[in-house]
Each structure stands twice: as structure tokens, then as C-alpha cells.
Structure 1
């Protein structure tokens, strides 16, 4: 059985949400993330970061890699468009965009405003990062203009990857009502029972 090392407000939410959507049995090793005692992004798992997953002899730590592994092993074609379909390219783009591009300004904001105590000394950097984040949100707005999810009409794992990224942006007040489609999209994702169970 899959064992997921999990802490609230970390990327491990993605993996628990995916497992809940797929209705795959799993066990949690749960801990509370404590920014006061954990240095930088070091986290209390065997790999030093969340998420960390064990499945028999397989261990993985990067959320994108874990998502792909779970879909290959347990997905049975669910939550990803078929290879060769028109939606596949958009799915792959957003699946990797979540960490490859979108997370960068958010990570910087977290570092300067959550982990450090001197955010007032970095206002120019924070404002520049906000502008960078807005370019990300602009792309999400455009993608959602004619479809409810990033890769088409159905939820995919790309929405799970990006959903966490955008939810973090909302929590940091980076994503606001100035991007109405993206904000409404995050709200709709949070209405999903599987995500509610993952957050419980």
C-alpha cells in the first residue's frame, strides 16, 4: 500500500488529493509543518521535503514525479488525456508548468514573507515578483476562457498540480479578483469532495 508522508500547507496535498480522486487506498505518515523549527525549505521526511511517497520498494519525493508514477501504476487511464489526443499537449504543458514556471514567483514570495522576518526590507523584490506572478495568472485566464479545466472539459492531474500552486497564490494575496476566471477556477476545485477529504 502507498504510504504518503504528509503535512498541511505543503505540496503533499497534491498527492493526497490525487489519491482521493482515484480512490486508491493509502496510509499517511502525518506531521505538522513548523516554520519556526525547520530551516529554510528543509522538511521532516526521509528526503527532506514534502511530499515523500513509499510504494513497496519505490520511493519518490518530487510531486510531479509522484503524480506521474501514481497515474502509471494506479490511474487506469483516469485523470490524464490519452496519448495522441488533442488535449494531451495542453495537459503535459500545465502538468509541468505548475512547478517549472508558475511556482517560482510564489516560492520567492513565501521565502520573503513567511520564512523571513524582514519583508519590509524587500518591497521592491516582492513587487517585481508580484508582476511575474501576474503573467502566470494571465496565462491561466486565457486557458480557461473557453473550457472549465486547463486541459479541456474534464479534471486532470494538471489541474491538481496547478490547483495547489494557484491556491497558494490566493493565500498569499498574489492571485486576486483581478484574474476572475483563475480565482473562480480555484474556488471550483476546492468544492471537489476529493480535495475536501485531502484537506480534512
Structure 2
């Protein structure tokens, strides 16, 4: 049985979970939380960087959500292929995956993590930069997604696994303006996807943890 060391409210964990749910891949939850010290100890010993999620397959540990998704396709494939066979299509998919991680997820997390710092250590200038980057990213994505159903084309892929939690939480942190109507419509399509809808529902009990206050929607 595959073991996934993760927490359901984590954006990067949700990214990996989508891949499991898309292909109905069975796994054992190894919940990473203060109520599960054994899981925390085992995870931190295996991965001292201590970033979620981590997949264990026998004696092999796989880290980083993108790599976990690609590993599942190689070692535990299912009917939904999340990385295209065609090299050019695969390159576009990987580029969009990096776009969501680097230009949506990271600035979103910058704002969130700033909110949990002691007030004396907060970085308002950095937060303003992060919000500006999010607006730039929304604007670029709005043009790209206008001609596509999914992030990299007409097939659901790794890029959409990345987009789902990125845009979900980013809209909580820095709302997607009405002028980015294509991005807003795409976010709605992601929320309607059963795999991500399941991940969102599993995370609902933890919404009180969100340091900026979770909105009463989604």
C-alpha cells in the first residue's frame, strides 16, 4: 500500500491528492499534524527538509508534488494520463505546472505566511510585491486560458492539478478581479472537477486554520 504523508488543508498536498483521486489510486493516509507525532517523526527523519507531501512506495520515498504525480503515472498508472505522451505537449504541461507553482502559489503563500509572523517581523513591502505579482499572473493567464478548456489544452493534466489549489487559495488571499473573467471561469471548472471537489471537502474541517480568515464560499 502506498503511504502519503500529508495534510488535507495543504495546497501542495491537495495538488498530489488530485492525481490519486483522478485515477482511483489506493493509498494510506499518514496525517501530518500535532495529533500524530509518530507520523511527524517518521516523515522528518526520512525528509529533513520537512515539506509536504511525501509519498512512500515500499522502501522508496518520493518528494515534491509534481514529482509524485509523475511518479504515479510511471509506477501506478491509471486511465487518466496527467502528462501527455507527445514531448511538445508534455513540455507545455510542465511549463504551466511551473507557472502555477512559481507565480500563483508562491506569492499567495508569501501573503499567508506574513500574516502568521509576529507583527514586528512582518514585511508589508514584500506582501505588496506578492499581490502585484498575482495580478500580473492573473492577467497573463486570462489571455492564455481564453482559448483552452484546461491549463495546457483540452486534456486535464498535471498543470490542472497545480492550478486547482493555487487559484483556490489565491482567490481567498487576493481576489481574482472581475476583469479576469477567463481565470474566474477556469477556477470554477476546477472546483467542479470531482477529484478536486473531494480534496476541497476533505479540507473543510480545517478552514479555521486559515490565518487571513476563510471566506464563506467555495
TM bracket (short chain): 0.7 to 0.9
For 2:82, the equivalent position in structure 1 comes to: 79
Single out whichever of 94-103 and 131-140 deviates more from structure 2. Answer: 94-103
Aligned-CA RMSD value: 2.5
Q: 1:75 is paired with a residue of what secondary structure? A: coil
TM-score (norm 1): 0.83
Please tell me whether residue 180 in structure 1 is matched to residue 181 in structure 2.
yes
Shift of 1:144: 0.7
Shift of 1:197: 2.2
Distance 1:176 1:3 in 2: 39
For 1:146, the equivalent position in structure 2 comes to: 147
Distance 1:100 1:29 in 2: 27
For 2:215, the equivalent position in structure 1 comes to: none
The CA deviation string for residues 67-104 of structure 1, in whole angstroms up to 9 with x for no partner, is 1111222235712222235x333212112223244333
Structure 1: segments with no counterpart, 5+ residues: 35-42
For 2:168, the equivalent position in structure 1 comes to: 167
Where do residues 123-134 of structure 1 align in structure 2 (5 Å cutoff)?
Answer: 123-134=124-135
Over 3 Å counting, the alpha-carbon distance change for 1:82 and 1:140 in structure 2 is: same
TM-score (norm 2): 0.77
Shift of 1:28: 0.7
For 1:97, the equivalent position in structure 2 comes to: 99
Where do residues 27-66 of structure 1 align in structure 2 (5 Å cutoff)?
Answer: 27-32=28-33, 44=40, 45-46=43-44, 47=47, 48-66=50-68
Name the one with the larger helix percent: 2
> Would the aligned equivalents of 2:54 and 2:62 in 1 still touch at CA under 8 Å?
yes
Aligned pair count? 190
> Would the aligned equivalents of 2:96 and 2:151 in 1 still touch at CA under 8 Å?
yes
Structure 2: segments with no counterpart, 5+ residues: 203-218
Shift of 1:174: 4.3
> Would the aligned equivalents of 1:7 and 1:33 in 2 still touch at CA under 8 Å?
no
